[in-house]
């Protein structure tokens, strides 16, 4: 089994509170890993720790990505290396044009990879198809970044960024929260389009609903800061029926 | 996130701090009647102007320096300043500008040679170094359209009727302490007259450069837009990096007659001093416009990134019915800079309207104050104002303050005021960084977004300059 990202004995705290308490997880290339768990189990902390969020202090263990430790890597470097987080609550940035932002981000990545930067016209062409697929109105790219976007529009915009930036490890933090059925379909279609047998997905969710659309290869149960069980997609049904309390830690 | 990182990202170096190595004629420091007489003689002024200056000096001597601004500085010693300094004139002809000055202006990105400007983007420039205008371009071409564009010194000699009629008509000579000082000692500046029904065929501009040591710059600008005319005027400025403070006290008067419009833009980039507050320009400026006639319109746009102290309130007196006043401002204070700036909108005519958009950005130890007055007079029925004052804080050692004053004598007057203060949030920065944008670029992107409404008011080439300047001021990269 090959691994793209390996999380070993990860311990992390937010403020004074220990949240992750020796978490182990390996992401396989081309696979969809779902992380499920009750509120407060550490799901969001895990996603933040992986992208170097300022809230989270890693106190032990390691995260390796493509064989290199990224524990002390700056957030922007992790991003340039191909780690993408779809935020649970994307922040609004007034006055910053959505298309301009996206092109800057894409060109930062292209520059990092030694590729030519795209000009505005080339970029717009690239974006047009994605917009249509996501059911996004074309005026959304000329609006300010996330400003005044509805919940569904914000999530679609996250997926648009994912499609444009073509990351290798994609972390989706509660991507389905607050989405109506149309938005959920559009978002899932975007995600499924990114499945190419190489990219890995880490889908963090409370609910199994999204997993009807994005078929996971593995289900990991996160409880009290640790992964306590890993199984195939059949575990979803079991969790639905009996809840997280029924899951015992695998020794 | 650590503040040091942000501080480093916003302690931009001042790129225009060079000195022009030229011979100058500078009077010894000190201010009394003989100084005024000297200046007036140097300018070859008519007697009536000298009398007005002396009258202003008398008034100024009875006044006291105002300290109501949210500004902290040592009292200024007016006797230690030199009130006149001029580059020595070329030997051959008066029109000849010292090549070193031409070179310096080129370095500032301003061409004083008409033939070197590209067709289509003609900008007429009045170039002022210390106390004198050294060159005014396109004056002859503009004259064909009836447009007068010259130094105020020339105007006093050549157009005395216009000067007598309009100078001091908007900012009376004893309006305030700094205006009175300026009225007594003003050395140069620009005069513009746009005749009836004329749309000025090109952008007009003045670039002020303080160069000499220990001198103050006291320019005076007067723009008159006659009925149905239009002009867009832009001013820029800079000064060398020096350890001592230098005083800049200017007066700008705009007169807008019926159906006319003036669009006045400023990019203020005086030397800001260092992070301990050493050096930098003290910028005390009185700018005011009067919309005399019906449907007159004035728009002030300012981007203030320089100066150790900024004290200015470009104002609009909306006297004509249906006249319109606008104020768009971006003020940046970083290092140890302090700015107390805003506007006054005085509604006197019926159905007058005004808009105020003020964006204050503070970083490091910068202190930024918005101070604005909206006054709706008893006869100004149907008048309305919209004000929006937003402050952005970068880091935690800076400050933002807002002092809006509202007075409405007309019960129907409609005044809307919105104010926000936000910090560049860690969350916003992180979001951009998670997409691979480095911290400096992320800060600059957020700041540009914040300023967008104001930058969009600037003529295109100035908007580009303003963006670049903001980047330089806030990003620490020397251009």
Phi, psi for A7 (deg, rounded to 5): -110, 120
Specify the higher pLDDT residue, A136 or B45. Answer: B45
- pLDDT band at B215, cuts 50/70/90? confident
Q: E strands along B226-323, which residues?
A: 230-238, 245-248, 251-256, 261-268, 280-291, 297-304, 309-312, 315-318
- The tokens for B443 are 């800060």
Complex prediction ipTM: 0.96
Residue A35 C-alpha, separation from nearest chain B C-alpha, in angstroms: 21
Q: Is the pLDDT of residue B5 over 50?
A: no
pLDDT value of position B118: 52
Query: How far is B172 from A14, CA to CA, in rounded Å?
Result: 62
Q: Which single residue is written with the structure tokens 């009727």?
A: B161
Please state the rounded mean pLDDT for residues B267-293: 92
pLDDT value of position B379: 92
Residue A192 falls inside a structural domain = yes
Q: Which single residue is written with the structure tokens 């290869």?
A: A217
Q: Is the pLDDT of residue B426 over 70?
A: yes
Which of A17-26, A49-58, B237-246, B347-356 has the lowest average pLDDT? B237-246
Residues of chain B neighbouring A104 (CB-CB closer than 8 A): 437, 441, 445
pLDDT value of position B476: 46
Q: Give the model confidence (pLDDT) of A182-196 as tens digits.
A: 889 988 998 999 999
Chain A 64-93, CB below 8 Å of chain B: which residues? Answer: 74-76, 79-80, 84-85, 87, 90-91, 93
Chain A 105-144, CB below 8 Å of chain B: which residues? Answer: 105, 108-109, 112, 144
Q: Which single residue is written with the structure tokens 């006093």?
A: B156
For residue B195, give the nearest of B119, B121, B151, B144 by alpha carbon: B144
Q: Is the pLDDT of residue B91 over 80?
A: no
Query: How far is B391 from B399, CA to CA, in rounded Å?
Result: 9
Q: Give the model confidence (pLDDT) of B6-30 as tens digits.
A: 555 555 677 788 888 888 888 899 9
Please state the rounded mean pLDDT for residues B172-184: 96
Query: How far is B58 from B38, CA to CA, in rounded Å?
Result: 16
Query: How far is B228 from B293, CA to CA, in rounded Å?
Result: 10
Which of A171-180, A205-214, B8-17 has the lowest average pLDDT? B8-17
What b/e string do you get for B40-49 counting C-beta neighbours within 10 Å, with b at 16 or more?
bebbebeeeb
What is the CATH number for A210? 3.40.50.300
Task: Give the whole-number percent of chain A exceeding pLDDT 70.
Answer: 98
pLDDT value of position B2: 40
Q: Is the pLDDT of residue A52 over 60?
A: yes
Q: Give the structural domain span for A220.
A: 5-246
Cβ separation of A101 and B435 shorter than 8 Å? yes
Q: Is the pLDDT of residue A17 over 60?
A: yes
Which of A103-117, B77-91, B229-243 has the lowest average pLDDT? B77-91
| Greatest CA separation for chain A | 56
Cβ separation of A76 and B452 shorter than 8 Å? no
Residues of chain A neighbouring B449 (CB-CB closer than 8 A): 93-97, 144-145
Residue A151 C-alpha, separation from nearest chain B C-alpha, in angstroms: 17
Residues of chain B neighbouring A97 (CB-CB closer than 8 A): 449
- pLDDT band at B444, cuts 50/70/90? confident
pLDDT value of position A103: 94
Q: Is A11 exposed, middle or buried (0-12, 13-18, 19+ CB in 10 A)?
A: middle
Q: Is the pLDDT of residue A138 over 90?
A: no
pLDDT value of position A135: 83
Domain count, chain B: 1
User: How many other β-carbons are positioned within 10 Å of the β-carbon of residue B226?
Assistant: 19
Q: Which of A97, A144, A161 sits opposite B435 (nearest CB)?
A: A161
- The tokens for A72 are 């002390």
Q: Give the structural domain span for B71.
A: 3-475
Residue A251 falls inside a structural domain = no
Q: Is the pLDDT of residue B53 over 90?
A: yes
Please state the rounded mean pLDDT for residues B148-166: 96
pLDDT value of position B377: 93
Q: Which secondary structure element, helix H or strand E, spans residue B473, and what is its range?
A: helix B460-475
Specify the higher pLDDT residue, A233 or B121. Answer: A233
Please state the rounded mean pLDDT for residues B434-455: 90
Chain A 199-228, CB below 8 Å of chain B: which residues? Answer: none
Query: How far is A210 from B311, CA to CA, in rounded Å?
Result: 58
Cβ separation of A79 and B430 shorter than 8 Å? no
- pLDDT band at B1, cuts 50/70/90? very low
What is the overall mean pLDDT for chain B?
Answer: 88
| Residue B357 to residues A8, B399, B418, B421, Cα–Cα distance (Å) | 53, 19, 10, 14
- pLDDT band at A75, cuts 50/70/90? very high
Query: How far is A5 from B47, CA to CA, in rounded Å?
Result: 85
pLDDT value of position B357: 95
Q: Which of A91, A108, A109 sits opposite B431 (nearest CB)?
A: A91
| Residue B426 to residues A24, B349, B359, B411, B452, Cα–Cα distance (Å) | 29, 47, 20, 44, 21
Domain count, chain A: 1
Decide if A161 touches B, using CB distance below 8 A: yes
pLDDT value of position B475: 61
């Amino acid at each position: 089994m090959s691994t793209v990202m390996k999380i070993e004995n990860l311990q992390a705290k937010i403020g004074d509170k220990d949240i992750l308490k020796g978490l182990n997880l390996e992401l396989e290339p081309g696979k969809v890993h779902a992380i499920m768990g009750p509120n407060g189990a550490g799901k969001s902390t895990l996603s933040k720790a992986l992208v170097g969020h300022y809230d989270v202090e890693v106190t032990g263990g390691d995260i390796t990505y493509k064989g290199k430790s990224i524990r002390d890597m700056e957030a922007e470097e992790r991003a340039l290396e191909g780690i993408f987080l779809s935020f649970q609550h994307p922040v609004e940035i007034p006055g910053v044009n959505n298309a301009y932002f996206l092109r800057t981000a894409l060109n930062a990545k292209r520059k990092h990879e030694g590729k030519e930067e795209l000009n505005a016209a080339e970029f717009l062409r690239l974006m047009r198809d994605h917009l249509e697929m996501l059911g996004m109105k074309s005026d959304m790219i000329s609006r300010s970044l996330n400003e005044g976007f509805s919940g569904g529009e914000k999530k679609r915009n996250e997926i648009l960024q994912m499609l444009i930036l073509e990351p290798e490890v994609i972390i989706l933090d509660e991507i389905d929260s607050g989405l109506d059925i149309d938005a959920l379909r559009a978002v899932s279609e975007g995600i499924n389009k990114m499945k190419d047998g190489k990219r890995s997905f880490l889908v963090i969710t409370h609910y199994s609903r999204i997993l009807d659309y994005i078929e996971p290869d593995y289900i990991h149960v996160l409880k009290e800061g640790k992964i306590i069980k890993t199984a195939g997609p059949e575990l979803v049904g079991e969790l639905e029926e009996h809840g997280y309390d029924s899951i015992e830690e695998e020794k | 996130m650590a503040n040091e990182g942000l501080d480093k990202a916003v302690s931009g170096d001042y790129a225009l701090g060079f000195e022009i190595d030229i011979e100058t004629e500078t009077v010894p420091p000190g201010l009394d009647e003989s100084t005024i007489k000297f200046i007036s003689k140097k300018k070859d002024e008519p007697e009536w102007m000298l009398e007005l200056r002396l009258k202003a000096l008398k008034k100024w001597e009875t006044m006291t320096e105002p300290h109501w601004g949210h500004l902290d500085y040592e009292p200024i010693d007016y006797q230690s300043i030199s009130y006149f300094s001029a580059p020595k004139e070329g030997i051959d002809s008066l029109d000849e500008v010292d090549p070193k000055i031409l070179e310096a202006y080129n370095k500032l990105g301003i061409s004083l040679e008409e033939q070197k400007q590209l067709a289509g983007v003609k900008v007429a420039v009045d170039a002022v170094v210390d106390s004198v205008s050294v060159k005014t371009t396109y004056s002859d071409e503009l004259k064909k359209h009836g447009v007068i564009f010259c130094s105020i010194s020339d105007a006093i000699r050549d157009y005395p009727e216009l000067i007598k009629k309009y100078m001091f008509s908007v900012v009376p000579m004893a309006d305030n302490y700094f205006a009175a000082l300026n009225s007594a000692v003003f050395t140069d500046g620009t005069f513009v007259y746009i005749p009836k029904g004329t749309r000025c065929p090109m952008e007009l501009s003045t670039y002020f450069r303080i160069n000499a040591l220990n001198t103050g710059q006291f320019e005076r600008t007067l723009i008159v837009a006659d009925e149905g005319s239009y002009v867009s005027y832009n001013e820029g400025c800079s000064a060398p990096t020096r350890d001592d403070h230098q005083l800049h006290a200017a007066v700008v008067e705009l007169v807008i007659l019926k159906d006319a419009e003036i669009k006045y833009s400023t990019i203020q980039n005086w030397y800001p001093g260092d992070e301990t507050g050493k050096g930098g320009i003290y910028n005390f400026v009185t700018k005011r416009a009067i919309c005399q006639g019906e449907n007159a319109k004035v728009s002030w746009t300012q981007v203030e990134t320089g100066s150790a102290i900024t004290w200015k309130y470009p104002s609009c007196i909306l006297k004509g019915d249906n006249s319109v006043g606008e104020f768009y401002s971006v003020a940046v204070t970083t290092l140890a800079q302090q700015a107390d700036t805003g506007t006054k909108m005085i509604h006197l005519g019926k159905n007058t309207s005004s808009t105020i958009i003020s964006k204050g950005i503070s970083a490091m130890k910068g202190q930024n104050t918005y101070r604005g007055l909206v006054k709706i007079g008893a006869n100004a029925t149907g008048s309305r104002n919209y004000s929006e004052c937003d402050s952005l804080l970068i880091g935690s050692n800076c400050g933002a303050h807002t002092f809006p004053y509202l007075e409405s004598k007309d019960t129907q007057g409609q005044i809307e005021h919105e104010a926000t203060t936000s910090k560049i949030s860690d969350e916003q920065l992180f979001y951009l960084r998670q997409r691979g944008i480095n911290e400096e670029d992320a800060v600059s992107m957020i700041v540009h977004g914040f300023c967008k409404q104001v930058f969009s008011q600037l003529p295109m080439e100035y908007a580009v300059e303003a963006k670049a300047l903001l980047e330089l001021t806030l990003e620490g990269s020397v251009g």
